[in-house]
Amino acid sequence: FRIVPNPAGNYAQILFSSTSQEAITIRIYSVTGNLIREWTLHPASGSNSIQWDLTDQNKRKVKQGMYFCSLFSGTEHKTARISVAP
């Protein structure tokens, strides 16, 4: 699970692997813990990705700064930091 580019300017690609077709939830949080964006996916087994256009759930551009990207899959939970550049 990784995010490129980081820092992100116009978009961020969230790359992850799946060993089954079970649901995966990806959430973006602000540093204060507010939920910014969420996706629930049913990816194919293997390498997968989703592109974040740096907008919130209401399609508003997020501000420059640090965010956290969390991936939830079954009992697995991973978190990575992402920096949004101006």
pLDDT of residue 9: 96
pLDDT of residue 40: 96
Ordered domains of the chain (ranges, CATH): 2-84 (2.60.40.4070)
pLDDT of residue 21: 75
Cα distance between residue 20 and residue 17, in whole Å: 9
Give the pTM. Answer: 0.91
pLDDT over 90 at 10, yes or no: yes
pLDDT of residue 74: 83
Summarised one tens digit per residue, pLDDT across range 19-34 is 877 899 999 999 999 9
Phi/psi for 72 (5° steps) reads -120, 130
Cα torsion 67, 57, 48, 5: sign: negative
Q: What number is the average pLDDT over the span 34-55?
A: 95
